[in-house]
Amino acid sequence: MSAEDPKLAVVVKGWPRLSETFIAQELVALERAGHSFDIWSLRFPTDKKTHPLHEETRARVRYLPEYLHHEKARVVRGWSKARKMPGFKKAHQVWMQDLRRDLTRNRVRRFGQACVLAAELPAGTKGLYAHFLHTPSSVARYAALIRGIDWSFSAHAKDIWTSPDWEIREKLANDGTGAAFGVTCTGFGAAHLQQMAEPAERVSLLYHGLDLDRFPLPPAQRPDDGVFRMLSVGRLVEKKGFDRLVKALSLLPDDLNWHWTHIGGGDLKDDLQAMAKAEDINDRITWRGACDQPEVVEAMRSHDLFVLPSRIAEDGDRDGLPNVLMEAASQKLAILSTPVSAIPEFISSGVHGLLVEDSPETLTFAIMDLARNPEQRREFADTAYDRLVADFGVDAGISQLSARLNTLIS
């Protein structure tokens, strides 16, 4: 064991990822609080850009085999070493139970990655901490069982609402195979998980919050060129509701001079751009693609309204509490969103912003109302900023998480 080997290992889906700023913010803050750890990523990065936060972490980043057949020799070495460890039999038994209920290649890949992780972890590793309750937690769970150490998780949104109940219950079980503790970033998600935990206190609410030291003060005034400028930031996927927004924009009256800017990538990009062209509004839209955090913040300072029409996808996937809402509030940009999941935990409709149904017609009327009431937008922006500063700073949550992790690796 090297004197520099950390006691903690952090398991993530991919590193770095533009859409997961909250993870980078948390890990940098944990390092500030005195923690050292390695980051173990299940996937290689695909984003062409990174956030400045990604460059700040001092953690060593290790990549597990994304697909087992791509690194056959490494997987065989990992399996051979892991199967000699005292906890391998129990881990294999748990995995086989899972595999019988989820007979997929992904489930096989999880165990292969876990064997490599268990085999390659530094000797002094005392605990694992996984971001997301689905795949990363499965890998962490199997690896922890193999090594005979504790594991923990941070749950967010999709991982909570699209994972089968049996799997969540077993990851929360107090039977020696479940997590030592779990945290999640919304009261809505915490209540759901606590119903399945043994005991409920194994899961705690821990808002990500926002590190306001990293953001400029809100602009004293915004540019006014006679155009009502709207901004959205988020992946072009079903749960973000941008299809409803494009339709809503097409219903705006001719006498409203508007422009919408979208930041983010996603699988629905071609479909939504085609939809905008069919509705004859594409010339009023700027599709900027993926941007880093400074570019996002700069855009927030030059627009009049932030719109995030989140909804529940067909498979149950939904947002938690999107960090972009807090980022918009940090720049006193008025917010229009929907009362989905944990969004009302930050935005009280009519006080800190406006939350409406995700139907195109409802969104259209809300946009029209806010476009014609700049004083109302300013009031919403001011109260959201005050709430952000008072209740959603990053320090309190990091303090709680740091204490939990210290116990995990003690």
- The residues pairing with 307 across neighbouring beta strands, listed in sequence order, are 336
For position 149, what pLDDT does the model report? 98
For position 132, what pLDDT does the model report? 96
Scanning the structure block, which residue is given the tokens 């043994």?
198
Provide the b/e sequence for 56-88 (b: ≥16 CB within 10 Å): ebebeeeebbeebeebeebbeebbebbeebebb
For position 47, what pLDDT does the model report? 85
Which is it for the CA torsion 72, 74, 77, 83, positive or negative? negative
- The residues pairing with 62 across neighbouring beta strands, listed in sequence order, are 40
For position 157, what pLDDT does the model report? 86
pLDDT < 70: residue spans in the chain: 1-3
- CB–CB of 7/30 below 8 Å? no
Residue 242, φ and ψ in degrees, nearest 5: -70, -20
Residue 270, φ and ψ in degrees, nearest 5: -65, -40
Give which of 336, 331, 309 is closest to 228, Cα–Cα.
336
Q: How many CA atoms lie within 13 A of 296 on its CB side?
A: 29
